[in-house]
Amino acid sequence: QKEVEQNSGPLSVPEGAIASLNCTYSDRGSQSFFWYRQYSGKSPELIMSIYSNGDKEDGRFTAQLNKASQYVSLLIRDSQPSDSATYLCAAGGQNFVFGPGTRLSVLP
Amino acid sequence: DAGVIQSPRHEVTEMGQEVTLRCKPISGHDYLFWYRQTMMRGLELLIYFNNNVPIDDSGMPEDRFSAKMPNASFSTLKIQPSEPRDSAVYFCASSDPDVEGYTFGSGTRLTVV
């Protein structure tokens, strides 16, 4: 059974700092990984995907993948209060397996 | 495109009643997923369809739950009879193999009293 683990948080960072969100997965066969952001009372929205080892940058967001360690991370630079949300990590395939999410709070 | 459309947005029902949740996927998406989200269990996959055919329903909690996709633009998730422990937010999502990730609908918040 595929599993995705995340620290539930909350992770609190000051405005302008780097927020680091981590995720581990159990299925070595997983090839694609996704980060979703979910604001309270809203649906998850896709913010990043990563398929290869290394880093992938998109604006203030950087996703990192290490398949040997079965580890995925999301860095948010220059964190803003509007980044306060729950971040869900997902391992892809025909169907996604989602982690429990990490609640991020960016303090003004 | 209007995105994935779910109805109703909120549903309050009494224990024992039948509940039907509805979903219209994005046109052209050939995968449709039903998820349930609770604080305790997070986002759980209930069932998913490919080209209107159920592929994996192993996440459906018990026989009280059923899902159908009679055509490419409509799916239902039915709970009969409903129980208080079914209270959750139910999300529908759709995807296209050529487009990464899922697109989620706004969800249906179900409360069974």
Q: Do A46 and B42 touch (CB under 8 A)?
A: no
Report d(CA B113, CA B11) in Å as an integer.
11
Report d(CA A38, CA A84) in Å as an integer.
9
**What average pLDDT score do residues A77-95 get?**
92
Contacts of B100 in chain A (CB under 8 A): 32, 34, 46, 49
**Residue A8's pLDDT is what?**
81
Contacts of B45 in chain A (CB under 8 A): 95-97
pLDDT tens, position by position, B13-38: 999 999 999 999 999 999 999 999 99
Phi, psi of A54 (to 5 degrees): 115, -155
Whether residue B110 has pLDDT greater than 90: yes
Report d(CA B55, CA B52) in Å as an integer.
9
**Residue B1's pLDDT is what?**
66
Type of residue found at A4: V
Interface test with B, best of A49, A52, A56, A96 (most B CBs within 10 A): A96
Whether residue B55 has pLDDT greater than 80: yes
Name the closest residue on chain A to residue B38, using Cα atoms: A100
Q: Do A46 and B103 touch (CB under 8 A)?
A: yes
Three-state SS sequence of A30-78? CCCEEEEEECCCCCCEEEEEECCCEEEEECCEEEEEECCCCEEEEEECC
Q: Angle at Cα B66 formed by Cα B71 and Cα A26, nearest 5°?
A: 95
